[in-house]
Structure 1
Amino acid sequence: MLEPIPINADEAPAPQERTPEELLRIIFDYTAKISGERSIKNVLLLMADMGREMILADRCTVWLIDHAKQELFTTIAHGVNEIRVPLGTGFVGHSIETGECLLIDDAYADIRHNVDNDQRTGYRTQAIITVPFVGNNGVILGAYQAINKLTPQAVFSRRDLEQLKLAAAYAGKSLESVILQEEIESTQREIIFTMGQIGEGRSKETGNHVKRVADYSAILALGLGLSAHEAELLRVVSPMHDIGKVAIPDAILLKQGKLTSEEFDQMKQHTEVGYQLLKSSGRELLKTAAIVAHQHHEKWDGTGYPQGLKEEEIHLYGRITAVADVFDALGSDRVYKKAWELERILQLFREERGRHFDPRVVDVFVEQLPALLEIRERYKDDADETL
């Protein structure tokens, strides 16, 4: 097993305890970073880094409870990948189970030490602090664990314990907020996708249609240089583009022949209905879904509906979804037509570049065609679903 690397006095000065000014700087720096984070993984990483820097630990680990599996796990342990242990085992299990903070000088002299982790990682634990952290309701969420002090004394002090408790008090509540936010957004994603399936289901589309349009939209967004966040946002909301179809009568929605001008006018109302359903939300996901529902039938040359917007007046998300939706619609069987051959679809996009569609989006569509076709194959409709 590997021992912690000792500090050689001839090569570098041994680290000294943090001054009050240094501690404040570390706390302010990390609390500012944590408060701006929405990713659980990033919050956990910042928590681990903050604890390690505050008390000069060699490693810092953040453990969470997996209630479903009755395990403790960490994906943020400096130098290692995910570790899982049964609830109640080791120092961390004891600390979470009892709510007790632990300050240990020699881990191997304590029967609670779980040596399996050291054997798995090739790292030797010596001095250790374990501090449970709680959410706003006082329920324990997990624990901080700092391992091996880097100062010449090589053991943690009561001062270190108090400092780690301070970090845990802040970080636990911050983590709970991020978990809650992720749960809210996850629920929104499920609702959006389900509502999108409902909207498409009324016109006899399969669930795979909304999956394909979602992934097409994300690929096009990335190809246009949008950020990963924006691409994921568009992937999540694009299934809602036709949600307004819930208000269109079946006689029009399922008509196999050509619509009359009056019927088509009524069909076009689905863009306004979708927008009205979604526009009042203050949530980013639903606000974006409202844009897509409202504008995905606008055309680059201004001849689309419902507002007759043209070129850059149309939100980029609407321009992207238009290409993704039409590509999938043309390549799929519908109640009123059979699927088109790929070359016929590509010819239409060449003809409609700069008329129906944003030229730049069409160019990216052509560049990304292999990836789009792979998605189409992955989520192809079963024959009985298209009948």
Structure 2
Amino acid sequence: MSISDTDLAFEVRPTDTPTPRAERESLLATPKFGTVFTDHMARASWTQGLGWHDRRVEKYGPLQLDPATAVLHYAQEIFEGLKAYRHDDGSVWTFRPTANAERMQRSARRLALPELPTEDFLASITALVRTDLDWVPSGEETSLYLRPFMYASEAFLGVRPSMQAEYLVIASPVGSYFAGGVKPVSIWVSEDYARAGAGGTGAAKCGGNYAASLLPQQEAYARGCEQVCFLDASTGSLLEELGGMNVFVVGADGSVSTPRLSGSILEGVTRSSILTLLAEQGREIRERDIPLTELLAGLRDGSVAEVLACGTAAVVTPIGRLAGGDFDVTVGDGTAGAVTTGIRAALTDIQYGRAADPHGWMHRLA
């Protein structure tokens, strides 16, 4: 896809205090996830009866909130995450942004927030990247992480949907998720806490789901693991997802399974892309319920060869160990398997322009 005229919908109001070039280049030399932000942010406001208005790119800075602002009391908030990649010719692209826009609309619907049109979503990220183009890094596996989000901004304490909302996009230059190369992670399987239940907000990308994962994540750290995996809330027996990533299980026969979208699992853009690429490889793919007992038995008898997680930040993460209250099992030989490394390379080669893009997943921003 190419740049469209809708990119001009956001008025650019340049900052009066741009980051000096030398300082910016120093920050880009060793970017860390979510700690440094660009000079600007994109923004639009929504008012009931008026709709979306005042689309602009303005100086990055603090938000002024009334103490009664609805989001602070009722957590009416959603967000997205995607990246801008600089290709060898200097152009800048992003990966499947329409899918992110559509998921944000589904999240808004579930949280009773206004739905942002896809063209506004695309225009906002394009306008911000064009304005802060010098912030897009060019090192290997570096990118500019884009965080669109929306919150209820009306100052009102009644329990009802807000009649005002703010949409923003901020951007942070990031390096490789894996310093020193891709490494398998250890996973603690939480059997005491659930991420989301049937009829809840599990399929929406909202802050409350992540807040619910933080205490179990602390438990994982205390148990010597880096991430936590949640089971279904109804039976406590089926794999669902990590705190922020989807899960895949690779059989010794080359088949691949992933938990079905039950309504309590986030529909990941990376997950969807992996399913497409694996199908093109001719692999048997099943979206189904995966009992924890089945996975553990498969790891012990060798019928399960690899387990991996996927998401925007890490792309594809090999899982080397699964631990829980009464088990501690190594996945394969504890290293990243061929399917995991192959699918990660296939995705990143498309994202960075090193391979053809037959599906039209890449969208040019600048």
Same fold (TM over 0.5): no
Q: Whose RCO is larger (CA < 8 A, sep 6+)? A: 2
More strand by share: 2
More helix by share: 1
